[in-house]
Structure 1
Amino acid sequence: MMKNETNTTIRYAEYLRKSTDDKEKQVLSLSSQRDVLDRLRNSHNLNVVETIEEKKSAKRPGRPGFNSLIRQIKAGKVNGIVTWAPHRLSRNSVDIGDIINLFDTGRLREIVTESHVYRNNPMDIFMLGFHCLQAKFENDNKALDVKAGMTKCAQLGIFPGRPPLGYLPDKGGIKGARKREIDPIAFPVVRKMWEALLARTHTPTQIINIAINKWGLRNAAGQKPALSTAYSIFHNTFYYGEYEWPKRSGSIYKGIHKPMITKAEFDRVQRMFRRPDNPRPAHHYFSYGGCSLRCGRCGCAMTGELKVKRQKNGNVHQYIYYKCTKRKGACSQRPITEAAISQDIENILSAIQMPESMHEHLMDWVRHENEVRQKNNADGLGDANRVALEQVQKKINGLIDMRSAELITDDEFREKRIELNEEKHRLSELITESSADSPAWIEAADKLIDLAIYAPWRFKNSWPESKREILLELGSDLIVNERKLDLTNSKWIFPLSEIAKEVNTLLLEFGPALSLKNKAKIKSFLYSPFMCSQLKEVRNLFLKSERQ
């Protein structure tokens, strides 16, 4: 330790922290840390000019007390720190870096702890960083252990998080693996909410208000639940016995808790929420906003605007327009009405529409083509194309070197470069086609066929949110040109519309597609050279758009 007379030239700030994180419950309390710091101050004659206490986890940057300490050091008010241990200062890499940087710039001279004094020399700074990073490692490792334990619980059928309203963790179970039991008070109330919604006697908001104000719905803390929490009840799969863990992971587990409703009842409620005739709160939602449309003249996003026209007779008319945001400056693009965009989309969807009976025939073609391509790949055609593509790329590189060395003229270079690029494009297309031989393409094909069959009806009978989803299925960054929707970027639409035209004409001639007599005719038609060419073109263009 430095001598007493030297210590008085350093202005120290005391820093005490008690984490709110459950993992640090065993850490010394603030009063215990105070006793340690008092002893350090008295035994080493420290000149303490500031004391900072806070109750905040150090896992992430952003602690108000710590940030205040850093500001005071940078301002020159203090140049030393007294704290119980390095992990009180930081358990994250950002705050560790701030402290070491203050040492490097000479603004921080000492950190006094119970076990060591860290001064501005390479060894002390290394040890300080090591101890702080060790604390971070322990913290991160605990988080991984907890995550692994929660995943194991999910696999055993025990929901790892806090159970929703109507359920409670089993207090007698092992901590971390407690089964989810029904809440004898809230369970009947939440069940009544489901029954009322299934009966369609009240709107969801009315049911929630009745449950809270009349039936006494309360959360585990005995408080009235937030409206959003209560509303989420009607979309939570936990109530019919399944749950997703972690959220948005796609991993579904079957719980061992008692279900409140059946899967069929849950599905009925979800369909009710999607019905266009359901009461919904009035608000202005722009169906094609959110940067789903772009100006064809300047490339800026199109934004929605509501215009209200009030007539003298009291009638009120509302019109929605989409106009260029003009972020890049003046633009001559004229506004387009939402009705005009909707009509353009309806026309496009009508052009690609096919009867539902064609789904089976088209998917048979997709699966057959996959088998053919898998066989070709097994015969080495796919690898041969890749080797050939590498050779072409080497020739292009060599051609560039030859031109740089002036071994060939500009005209010879351009002529040969065009020839090689055409060959490169041809081989790339063949490789793209062969890469479609996977379950991913079968899934994408099913999605595309569903779009052609069901999207026209969905678009006419859906809410604005669903209309935007359908628009985005047609392509991203769609263009508006001369007050018309331009789908030039979605190159797969035109060949698909040609297929739909041929299919619909054929069915008018043949009759029902599901009859045994017509199945053979339709199969023969789909495998004709013209249709195979069109279907392959749609496949390649659609996969290319999906990858962009």
Structure 2
Amino acid sequence: MDEIKRKPITYGIYIRKSSESEDRQVQSLVRQKTELREIVDRDGLVVHQQVFEERQSAFRTGREVFSELVDATRKGEVNAWLTWHANRLSRNPVDGGQIIHLMDEGFLDHIRTRERIYENTPQDKLMLHFEFGLSKNDSEEKSKIVRSGIKRRHERGYPSGVPPIGFLLAGSSASSGRSFWVLDKPQWKLLRQVFQRFLAGRDSVLTITNYARFVGLRTTLRGRSGGRFPTRSTIHRILTNPIYAGYFITREGIRYELEKQLPRLITEEEFNRIRIILGDHNSAKERTTRPSAFGGLITTPQGETLGTDHKFHLVCDCGHKFSHLHTKHCPRCGSEIAGLSRPRFRSYVYYYSLASRRRTVRPLRSIEERRVRDLARDHIRENLNLPDNIKQWAIRYLPELQDQVLRNRQREAERHAKFQQDLKEKRRRLTELYLDGLITKKDYEQEARSLAISGATVKSSPDFTLSVDWKKEATQILDLVGEMDLILQHGNAGEVKQAMESLGIQMVWDGEELKFNHSTKLRRLMAIIEQGRREMPAAKRRKTSELDDSGTT
């Protein structure tokens, strides 16, 4: 050790600045190097020919340049270190212990920083221990602060990083002092054209990239970069970015919704369709949901809910039709899907019985979703849809119809109660006659059976309780029935399913015929309207229609 100390001092200059949050306030590498060179020139220090320049975080072990400095120290090429601050050397206990161990073994004479020199003494090594421990704690605290800030940003509805094409980063708001996004309206308009065209299912990534360039879409201009026509990879990133559907996924797989004030370019269902077209349906961070319009609404006659089977096909330029989800090339001609000039993407949804698929004899046939839509339109048009004049008349007189029906049901309930009371009285009298010996047991049993049959043939009084907001609820149902034709014809899967569930329409598929069942609420409403049409004078209905046509209330 004495021999090593007597050697001339040769410094190894070590500078470090990582790209991570822990070093955001640290001087740049050039600035560190400049300040250390000033110390070398001022004090006439002898330095190693190599400047050990690191760009990795000291929070983790395994830094390549730091290992080179340690090796040079053990070889005797350097025996002292010159660095900007002690925390440049280590922010973890392993590297800190290695540095102290080099001093203990006599390979490292001292460490020099801008502010002081750490000699190979117990007191200075203790100070180094303290500096390394403090820097580790400082890194952990900064890391917590940064993670907390990122989480708050995500909760505000903004992902990390720069805004994608179509958005711009604005200055800090006066209220919160935080930066926010605004629309890049010219780019947003062009993006809408690109997405709408791609959703038609007639483009590959190549052709949609050419179209994006044709309409004038460019990357966001940031300083000297950007402002160029997008490449295929850029367009692919745009199409697979959920931010345009109103949400984003973090590296940890957590989903956050985009800031509510920012518009959505496409729906989430449309985004899922795009991912399926691109074959990106099994993302590692998020599994694509495949929506179906009638999932859970169709059963077999035995009560089994039908499953859904999604089919995705592509017609290649060569005319070959194949499933494209798990391949990037046409199996016939070998053409790359992303480079096709006239691709035609097709998707289908079938509903089938799982139990039927396992049968070997007469399996239940599946039914295609588009056919279900057509059959549902026909059923609603024929059984539920009302002419506008009848609909307006029904809405106007719903309270009167409700009162009329309730009065009829009340009279029916009273008749039912009287019949039950009379039946009970007849049974009592029959029992008394038998106990008094006025009739035989045979006559008693025969008459008792007759009374039992008479009571069984009379239907019980129906429960016809209506909700307090029955008129409002009935009006909403009638309005929805009137919109169902358009919803079934043009609505997406989510809209169709929500409408069918709101009406309370269930379906039964037996392999040949699709039958429709209505909820009690819907049946009651249509029964009230039909009964009102029969019982209310036609002249009154015509008068109501005339008032509605003239706009009189």
TM-score, structure 1 as length reference: 0.46
Bigger fraction of residues in helix: 1
> Which protein shows a greater Rg?
2
TM-score, structure 2 as length reference: 0.45
